[in-house]
């Protein structure tokens, strides 16, 4: 499984600003996005964590995907080193892809990461908090696919 | 038939689409309840209402800008997969029209063809997967002939999804059980071309 994703140009870690990679978690459910963010923070261990933001639910609440919430979450966690966006399914995937392909709503260096949502979020946050660049964060999150449970 | 079409025409098209979606929202939701998650009508109604509202308040100067604005609003207001799909269709088509103040029907068809290609790329679907592409592709081909041909082709394409088995989206989880139902996205795509023909006919 490759850590490549589609993105808005620019590789991480080389930009001025020197911040860590930010992470955005996009779920159809605000409760799921918030809980996975809390889980990732909890499992990532103590210390100084990289920024992670949840973008869950539809515009105005309910189940669905909000492009505006995604854009504002990405802006919040963008420290100039890139933003790794993890998504659950369906419209969450399509909305992030559409924003990356057509729009200017997401920061430079934002990238959709192909990863399992929960496991990928933990791996991404651990890697970003340790100072990994966007490629390393994306690769760690994608590698979570390879961990078999039986 | 020849002629050119400006920003006012494009805005009237979007307004007429909003009306058609409003009128047909119940049917779209019923179709979606059969093979999806029963939100297509409500989602598109919210999206196109926001589009019509924004275009009425602040009308863009070119047809391309109308479609780009509409696409951006659909992506931000719909909340379901139809938002990024329709949003990409219109935004890419609008970009393809560029800065021109007036465009021909053929130029509109070319721009929509670029939009439809972008939709296919975004969703990873092709014709025959029981998606909106099954209405959009024949509609754009028909538009090279006339607005009426585009409308008829979109209708036929949507109805032709009934016997198909869904291969994309949530309906794909149903496998064989998706057979026998019209695809909601193809049905709403036909409304887009109903509205286009109505507005062109004046």
State the Cα–Cα distance between residues B183 and B190, nearest whole angstrom. Answer: 11
Residue A10's pLDDT is 44
Structure confidence by residue, pLDDT tens digits, A8-38: 544 443 433 358 999 999 999 999 999 999 9
State the Cα–Cα distance between residues B23 and A87, nearest whole angstrom. Answer: 33
State the Cα–Cα distance between residues A43 and A137, nearest whole angstrom. Answer: 16
Name the band, by pLDDT with cuts 50, 70 and 90, for residue B59.
Answer: very high
A65 to B118: CB separation less than 8 angstroms, yes or no = no
Residue A4's pLDDT is 45
Structure confidence by residue, pLDDT tens digits, B146-171: 999 999 999 999 999 999 999 988 88
State the Cα–Cα distance between residues B164 and A109, nearest whole angstrom. Answer: 40
Specify the range with the lowest mean pLDDT, choosing from B70-74, B77-81, B136-140: B77-81
A102 to B83: CB separation less than 8 angstroms, yes or no = no
CATH number corresponding to A22-145: 3.40.50.510
Name the band, by pLDDT with cuts 50, 70 and 90, for residue B2.
Answer: low
Residue A102's pLDDT is 79
With a CB cutoff of 8 Å and minimum separation 6, the contacts of A100 are A6, A7, A8, A106, A110, A111, A112
Residue A111's pLDDT is 98
Parallel, antiparallel, or unpaired for β B4-5 and A22-27? unpaired
Looking at the complex, report in whole angstroms how far the Cα of residue A95 sits from the nearest Cα belonging to chain B.
5
Best CA proximity match to B19, nearest among B196, B186, B200:
B196
A65 to B79: CB separation less than 8 angstroms, yes or no = yes
**Is residue A83 helix, strand or coil?**
strand
**Residue keyed to tokens 């057509």:** A102
| Chain B touched by A59 (CB under 8 Å) | yes
When pLDDT is averaged across residues B133-141 and rounded to a whole number, the result is: 98
B88 to A102: CB separation less than 8 angstroms, yes or no = yes
Name the band, by pLDDT with cuts 50, 70 and 90, for residue B37.
Answer: confident
Indicate if the alpha-carbon torsion angle B41, B42, B44, B45 is positive or negative. Answer: positive
Q: Which domains does chain B have, with CATH numbers?
A: 4-201 (1.25.40.340)
**Minimum Cα–Cα distance from B91: chain A residue:** A102
> Can you state the angle between helices B105-123 and B63-77, rounded to 10 degrees?
30
| Residues of chain A predicted below pLDDT 70 | 1-18
| Chain B touched by A99 (CB under 8 Å) | yes
B88 to A98: CB separation less than 8 angstroms, yes or no = yes
**Minimum Cα–Cα distance from B87: chain A residue:** A98
Q: Taking phi first (over 0 means left), then psi (-120 to 50 degrees means alpha), and beta for anything else, what does residue B2 get?
A: beta
Residue A47's pLDDT is 85
When scoring B70, B79, B111, B122 by the number of chain A Cβ atoms within 10 A, the one with the most, hence best to mutate, is: B79
* Residue B1 reports pLDDT greater than 70: no
Looking at the complex, report in whole angstroms how far the Cα of residue A101 sits from the nearest Cα belonging to chain B.
9
When pLDDT is averaged across residues B98-110 and rounded to a whole number, the result is: 98
When pLDDT is averaged across residues B187-199 and rounded to a whole number, the result is: 98
Domain boundaries, chain A: 22-145
Residue A8's pLDDT is 56
Query: Considering only CB atoms, which chain A residues are within 8 Å of B38?
Result: none
With 0-12 / 13-18 / 19 or more C-beta atoms within 10 angstroms meaning exposed / middle / buried, residue A60 is: exposed
Residue A7's pLDDT is 56
Residue B68's pLDDT is 97
Return the percentage of chain B with pLDDT > 70, whole number: 99
B76 to A62: CB separation less than 8 angstroms, yes or no = no
Enter the tokens of residue A97.
Answer: 């892809």
B79 to A59: CB separation less than 8 angstroms, yes or no = yes
**Is residue A36 helix, strand or coil?**
helix
């Amino acid at each position: 499984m490759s850590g490549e994703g589609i993105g808005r140009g620019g590789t991480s870690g080389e930009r001025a600003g020197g911040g860590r990679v930010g992470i955005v978690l996009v779920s159809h459910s605000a409760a799921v996005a918030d809980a996975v963010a809390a889980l990732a923070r909890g499992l990532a261990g103590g210390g100084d964590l990289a920024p992670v933001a949840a973008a869950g639910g539809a515009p105005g609440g309910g189940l669905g995907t909000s492009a505006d919430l995604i854009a504002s979450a990405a802006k919040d966690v963008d420290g100039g080193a890139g933003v790794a966006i993890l998504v659950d399914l369906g419209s969450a995937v399509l909305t992030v892809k559409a924003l990356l392909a057509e729009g200017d709503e997401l920061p430079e260096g934002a990238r959709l990461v192909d990863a399992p949502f929960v496991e990928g979020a933990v791996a991404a946050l651990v890697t970003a908090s340790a100072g990994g660049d966007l490629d390393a964060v994306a690769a760690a999150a994608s590698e979570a696919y390879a961990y078999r449970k039986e | 038939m020849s002629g050119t079409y400006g920003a006012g025409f494009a805005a009237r098209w979007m307004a007429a689409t909003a009306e058609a979606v409003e009128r047909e929202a119940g049917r779209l939701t019923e179709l979606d309840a059969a093979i999806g998650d029963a939100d297509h009508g409500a989602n598109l109604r919210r999206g196109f209402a926001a589009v019509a509202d924004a275009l009425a308040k602040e009308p863009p100067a070119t047809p391309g800008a109308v479609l780009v604005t509409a696409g951006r609003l659909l992506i931000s207001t719909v909340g379901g997969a139809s938002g990024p799909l329709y949003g990409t269709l219109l935004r890419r088509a609008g970009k393809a029209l560029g800065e021109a103040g007036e465009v021909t029907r053929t130029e509109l068809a070319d721009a929509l063809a670029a939009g439809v290609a972008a939709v296919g790329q975004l969703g990873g679907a092709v014709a025959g997967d029981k998606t909106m592409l099954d209405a959009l592709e024949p509609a754009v081909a028909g538009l090279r002939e006339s607005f009426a041909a585009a409308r008829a082709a979109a209708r036929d394409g949507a109805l032709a999804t009934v016997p198909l088995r869904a291969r994309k989206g949530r309906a794909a989880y149903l496998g064989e059980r998706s057979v026998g139902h019209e695809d909601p996205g193809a049905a709403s795509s036909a409304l887009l071309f109903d509205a286009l023909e109505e507005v062109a006919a004046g």
